[in-house]
Chains A and B, each alone.
Chain A
Amino acid sequence: MTSATVQTATAEKEKTGRGAPADSDRVKAENSLGRKLVLPAIVLMLLVTAFPMLRALYLSLFDYSLTAPEDREFVGLQNYLTALSDGLFWRDTLNTVGIMVITVAVELVIGFAFAMVMHRVIFARGVIRTSILIPYGIITVVSGFAWQFAFSNTNGFVNSWLPFIEDNFNWFGEYGSSMIAIMVSEIWKTTPFMSLLLLAGLAQVSEDMIEAAKVDGATWFQRLFKVILPNMRAAIMVAVLFRALDAYRIFDNIFVMTAGANGTESISFLTYRQVIEQFQLGIGSALSVLLFLSVLVVAYLIVKIFRVDLASARQEG
């Protein structure tokens, strides 16, 4: 084991401070060991993401269908023009953005309420923790089925439970109600995750500060908006960023619940359909690249608009 030498090196360096001379043997040894240890993980991560992404970039410049691979021909940016000038692409992007905004907003509110409950409760903590982890752990496909059947007008229960809905109302017969059903499944499954992240942030807000505000006569609302929320900003932002990007990739629920019927397709679903169902690797790759770019744009916008502190997400704080 070389770890012993490494530890002495680190221990010594911590004593002398971070600005140790770069050419010392120990620093070199540490550098090389560090790189060796992360190498397998890095290679694997890039092998399955960066390399295929570059390949997609290359393939997107061809008219290429797996049903007729010998007809492959270079078309330049034609695939991108086709995708971007097609109403389908924009309709699906709009669907995806809509799902992202609505689900994350609802999850944030409900998740925060759940976090408050979990934070205050002093009994039955194990029971709550167990139940809150079940939606998190459940397979998304299973959640999709559970809600699809719950909303079903032949075997479900939602119609008979909701007073203002007719018993034979078909939720999957039109766009709006289909989207609601999809979002309910998405929100149900991911709110617990959100609430756990928020709970961790809530635990960092000092009780003394809340108590002091109370003594100074702040109302419950003032304490919430002036003391608690500003102090858990980092946790909220990280939760929003992670969940928003996750919601932007929505695929499983749509596949299971509507399979894109009534215009409920997401951008991930469109890409999947082009590549796997229609074997259109050329235009499918162009869509892959556009999907990747749009995730980057969404991430950038969230980081800029909400000024997310990424260092805390990476635990470098």
Chain B
Amino acid sequence: MKQKIGLGIGLAAVLTWCLLPVVWIISLSFKSQEAITNGSLGFLPAEGGRAGWANYADVLQDEQFRRAILNSIGISLIATTLSVILATLAAYAIARLEFKGKKFVLTTALVIAMFPVVSLVGPLFDMWRTIGIYDTWLGLIIPYMSFTLPLAIWTLSAFFREIPWEMEQAAQVDGATSWQAFRKVIVPLAAPGVFTAAILTFFFAWNDFVFGISLTSTESARPIPAALSFFVGPDPFSRPASLLAAGAVVATLPIVAIVLLFQRKIVAGLTSGAVKG
């Protein structure tokens, strides 16, 4: 019984930790802009200081913000798709084949996963301007791909090792062509892993800030995190906290949706590289 109470308290602590700041930013997004300018201490919007949906309406009408959402969705989806395709090829080779250079691939991936991204900003800034992809979608897609490849390769090769590949041969013995065996047997088995890698890759691309602010200069490619940080609103001398909060909530919605739908897969993917599999 005593243990149960302790567990209940622990559970409440975990939930509070994870959700309190999220509830806070939602609450802040409902404070009116006048209340923010005049100062409105406290967790919940005060009586008379509530904005209703006004902040959301303002943010969604902001041309730059809308453009940033579009950029983020487009860039993240393209980078995710391409990165997962390349990672699938590499992970298949790592999980299934014996070849020279396998260690080199794994070591490179490990080093890149730990690479201090800021140290690349200078040279990439220079290079991208020279070849003309500075401030374009492509200029962000390329670095996002190379920095998500390590995670995707690890996750996928961990998944691929668990696949009972003999089943493919069994299907061939039973008369399936190799294409049928691949499509009907291997693809369904590998799909969950590919999907998990895609989610983690998307999170990275959606979250990135360093490349987002350094390799863009206008709204033509600027992603959401960068747009949020540059968002000053009508009065440059006081930050429009509640407007920013509304923008932040909008930017977080896709992440929450993905987490709600796929939590089990994400946990499996995150921890697959951490313990001996």
A295 → chain B, closest Cβ, in Å?
A: 5
* Chain B positions within 8 Å of A155 at CB level: 28, 31, 36, 39-41, 241
A141–B114 CA distance with the chains assembled, in angstroms: 20
Q: Is the beta-carbon distance between A138 and B252 smaller than 8 angstroms?
A: yes
- Residues 206-238 of B at the A interface (beta carbon under 8 Å): 206-207, 209-210, 213-214, 224-225, 228-229
Q: B259 and A149: CB pair below 8 A?
A: no
Known contacts A59-B122, A157-B42; is-contact A1 B182 (Cβ 8 Å) = yes
Contacting residues, chain A, for B272 (C-beta < 8 A)? 315
Whether B270 lies near A48 (C-beta < 8 A) is no
Chain B nearest Cβ from A116, distance in angstroms = 7
Q: Taking the complex as formed, is A191 at the interface, i.e. its CB lies under 8 A from any CB of chain B?
A: yes
Beta-carbon contact of B14 and A128 below 8 Å: yes
**Which of A27, A34, A117, A196 is within 8 Å of B267, CB to CB?**
A196
Mask for B75-112, Cβ within 8 A of A = 1, else 0? 00000000000110110111011111110111111111
Complex interface: stretch among A81-89, A97-105, A199-207: A199-207
**A255–B31 CA distance with the chains assembled, in angstroms:** 25
> In the bound complex, how far is the Cα of B271 from the Cα of A158, in angstroms?
33
B116 with A248: CB separation less than 8 A: yes
Question: In the complex, which residues of chain B have a beta carbon less than 8 angstroms from the beta carbon of A120?
Answer: 7, 10
Residues of B within 8 A of A134 (CB): 18-19, 22, 255-256, 259
A50-58, A174-182, A209-217, A222-230 - interface stretch: A50-58
Q: Is the CB of A56 within 8 A of B123?
A: yes
Interchain CB contact under 8 A, B119 and A142: no
A288 touches B119 (CB 8 A): yes
Does residue B57 face the partner (Cβ distance < 8 Å to A)? Answer: no
Q: Given the complex, which residues of B lie within 8 Å of A313, measured CB to CB?
A: 110, 273-274
Chain A 242-286 interface mask (CB, 8 Å, partner B; 1/0): 100100110110011000000000001101101110000100110
Q: Which residues of A contact B7 (CB under 8 A)?
A: 117, 120-121
CA distance A134 to B19 in the complex (A): 8
Bitwise, A116-154 to B at CB < 8 A (1) or not (0) is: 111011001011111111111111111101110110111
Q: Are A315 and B252 in touch, CB under 8 angstroms?
A: no
B178 near A53 (CB under 8 angstroms)? no
B13 at the interface (CB under 8 A from A): yes
Q: Which residue of the partner chain, among B102, B172, B270, contacts A197 with CB atoms under 8 Å?
A: B270
Closest A residue to B18 by CB, please name it.
A131
Q: Is B132 on the interface with A (CB-CB < 8 A)?
A: no
B236-268 with Cβ < 8 A to chain A: 241, 244-245, 248, 251-252, 255-256, 258-260, 263-264, 266-267
Tell whether B165 is near chain A: CB-to-CB under 8 Å.
yes
CA distance A234 to B275 in the complex (A): 7
Extra inter-chain contacts (14) besides given A35-B100, A37-B92, A44-B146, CB under 8 Å:
A49-B112, A113-B10, A131-B14, A154-B41, A155-B241, A193-B270, A200-B275, A242-B113, A276-B121, A285-B123, A288-B123, A292-B116, A315-B157, A315-B272
5 contacts across the A-B interface (CB closer than 8 A): A38-B94, A116-B10, A117-B10, A150-B21, A287-B119
Q: Which residues of B contact A (CB under 8 A)?
A: 7, 10-11, 13-15, 17-19, 21-22, 24-25, 28, 31, 36, 39-43, 86-87, 89-90, 92-94, 96-102, 104-127, 142-143, 145-147, 149-150, 153-154, 157-158, 161, 165-166, 168-169, 172, 178-179, 181-182, 203, 206-207, 209-210, 213-214, 224-225, 228-229, 241, 244-245, 248, 251-252, 255-256, 258-260, 263-264, 266-267, 270-277
A interface with B by C-beta (< 8 Å):
1, 3-4, 6-8, 10-11, 13, 18, 27, 30-35, 37-38, 40-42, 44-49, 52-53, 55-56, 59, 66, 110, 113-114, 116-118, 120-121, 124, 126-143, 145-147, 149-150, 152-157, 159-161, 167, 188, 191-193, 196-197, 199-201, 204, 234-235, 238-239, 242, 245, 248-249, 251-252, 255-256, 268-269, 271-272, 274-276, 281, 284-285, 287-289, 291-292, 295, 299, 310, 312-317
